[in-house]
């Protein structure tokens, strides 16, 4: 279905005034997709901001939530969440555990989601087609729950995915060379999805690179052989070098898209640098041990157990929650050994919102512009 309407206001200068955000990604930006499909993220997830689990694997808000706040729109409802969702100003297709490539396994065996990026793009296509039809043919309450047709061409399209492609490949004991060899294919698949969004009218893209995977306890413990050598922050040099290679190729891919589609705006956002700064300078920035999990179990170096996640239960006659959270999540970087705390996410957002870590260096509110003005 063809899209109606022109680009976001402000494309010629000034703020863009995006009326909606459509997000694609994994757990770093999932606002409830996986919880809707496979069971809710349990308490104490959500304790800091929402006061209860909210579908996010975090004590509070994610970077995507701070993006929405900054743009003056409501938090983005997960496309897969049928209860209480409002899509008037966007939809979130991300699910925790998602990857660019399809996983040749099940969620229950591997922990990785079957909702790969191509599936998310199909969901988006169906969302456009069905929402436009319902909005204009049924009207009524649907006009209060679905976006206007012109919003699709004026919206900001955000992407944050790729971390699970690297870790899932490593977790089946592929070598570093084998993991690196998958990156060109990942870039082709990502390009294909972004181009499909472009063909549907999308013109403004905000694309995050992947973070320092070698600083995440779950990665360090899954492949102990990759946990050494470590750098001064205690992070795996091996994991991080592969993440950096992925990011280099991603930056090249975004530059290529920019040349192919000069009428669109593609912003490459270096969240790796923001996250590594936080981890390597944690104490100076007011945090404590950046590798110590807040909501975990087992003590040890990371207070993390691969078999019992945040809010997980161990049954010994009675059901007892063993994945409890620390007293003050605002002092921790790692929430559950996989994801950041709200405080850490806020730090990352503050680092990227003004465009200092972006290529081109445009701030979030001017991401409809193809270059800095």
Query: What six digits make up the tokens of 366?
Result: 């001017």
Contact of 90 with 23, CB cutoff 8 Å: yes
* Mean pLDDT for all residues in the chain: 93
Per-residue pLDDT band for 154 (boundaries 50, 70, 90) equals very high
d(CA 265, CA 13): 13
Average pLDDT over residues 182-202: 98
Domain 21-288+340-366's class? Answer: alpha beta
Q: CA nearest 277: which of 235, 219, 230?
A: 235
Question: Is the model's pLDDT at 162 over the cut of 90?
Answer: yes
Q: What was the pLDDT predicted at 157?
A: 98
- State the catalytic residues: 27, 336, 339
Query: What six digits make up the tokens of 199?
Result: 């063909």
Q: What was the pLDDT predicted at 139?
A: 87
Question: Is the model's pLDDT at 65 over the cut of 60?
Answer: yes
* Peptide bond between residue 181 and the one before it cis (omega within 30 degrees of 0): no
Per-residue pLDDT band for 111 (boundaries 50, 70, 90) equals confident
CA distances from residue 274 to 331, 339, 348 in whole angstroms, order as listed? 17, 15, 5
Average pLDDT over residues 66-73: 98
Q: What was the pLDDT predicted at 2?
A: 37
User: How do the domains of the chain map onto residue ranges?
Assistant: 21-288+340-366
Q: CA nearest 31: which of 46, 12, 10?
A: 46
Which range (10-14, 29-33, 105-109, 137-141) has the least confidence?
A: 10-14
Question: Is the model's pLDDT at 169 over the cut of 80?
Answer: yes
Q: What was the pLDDT predicted at 371?
A: 58
User: Which segments of the chain does DSSP mark as H helices, in order?
Assistant: 33-38, 63-71, 107-110, 117-137, 151-154, 163-171, 176-181, 183-199, 217-222, 237-260, 271-280, 342-352
Q: What was the pLDDT predicted at 3?
A: 41
* Residue 150 CB-density burial (10 A; 0-12 exposed, 13-18 middle, 19+ buried): middle
Question: Is the model's pLDDT at 9 over the cut of 80?
Answer: no
Q: What does DSSP assign to residue 14? A: S
Q: What was the pLDDT predicted at 228?
A: 87
Question: Is the model's pLDDT at 7 over the cut of 60?
Answer: no
Per-residue pLDDT band for 5 (boundaries 50, 70, 90) equals very low
pLDDT digits (tens, 9 = 90+) for 282-334: 999 999 999 999 999 888 999 999 988 899 876 565 555 666 789 999 999 99
Q: What was the pLDDT predicted at 150?
A: 96
């Amino acid at each position: 279905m063809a899209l109606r309407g022109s680009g976001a206001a402000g494309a010629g200068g000034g703020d863009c005034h995006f009326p909606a955000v459509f997000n694609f990604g994994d757990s770093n930006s999932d606002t409830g997709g996986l919880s809707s499909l496979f069971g809710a993220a349990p308490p104490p997830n959500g304790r800091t901001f929402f006061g209860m689990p909210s579908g996010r694997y975090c004590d509070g808000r994610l970077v995507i939530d701070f993006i929405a706040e900054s743009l003056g729109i409501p938090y983005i409802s997960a496309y897969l969440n049928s209860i209480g969702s409002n899509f008037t100003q966007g939809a979130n297709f991300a699910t925790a555990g998602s990857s660019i490539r399809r996983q040749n396994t099940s969620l229950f065996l591997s922990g990785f989601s079957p909702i790969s990026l191509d599936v998310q793009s199909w969901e988006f296509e169906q969302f456009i087609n069905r929402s436009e039809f319902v909005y204009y043919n049924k009207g009524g309450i649907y006009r209060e729950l679905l976006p206007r047709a012109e919003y699709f061409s004026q919206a900001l399209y955000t992407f944050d995915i790729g971390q699970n492609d690297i870790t899932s490949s490593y977790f089946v004991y592929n070598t570093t060379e084998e993991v690196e060899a998958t990156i060109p294919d990942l870039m082709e698949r990502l390009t294909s999805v972004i181009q499909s969004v472009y063909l549907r009218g999308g013109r403004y893209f905000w694309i995050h690179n992947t973070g320092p995977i070698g600083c995440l306890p779950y990665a360090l413990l899954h492949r102990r052989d990759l946990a050494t050598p470590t750098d001064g922050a205690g992070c795996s040099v091996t994991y991080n070098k592969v993440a950096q290679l992925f990011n280099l190729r991603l930056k090249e891919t975004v530059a290529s898209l920019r040349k192919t589609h000069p009428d669109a705006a593609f912003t490459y956002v270096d969240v790796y640098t923001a996250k590594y700064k936080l981890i390597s300078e944690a104490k100076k920035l007011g945090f404590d041990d950046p590798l110590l999990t807040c909501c975990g179990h087992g003590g040890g170096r990371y207070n993390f157990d691969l078999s019992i996640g945040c809010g997980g239960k161990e049954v010994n006659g009675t059901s007892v929650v063993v994945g409890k959270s620390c007293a003050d999540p605002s002092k921790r970087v790692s929430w559950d050994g996989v994801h950041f705390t709200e405080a850490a996410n806020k730090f990352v957002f503050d680092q990227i919102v003004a465009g200092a870590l972006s290529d081109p260096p445009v701030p979030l509110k001017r991401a409809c512009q193809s270059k800095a003005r």
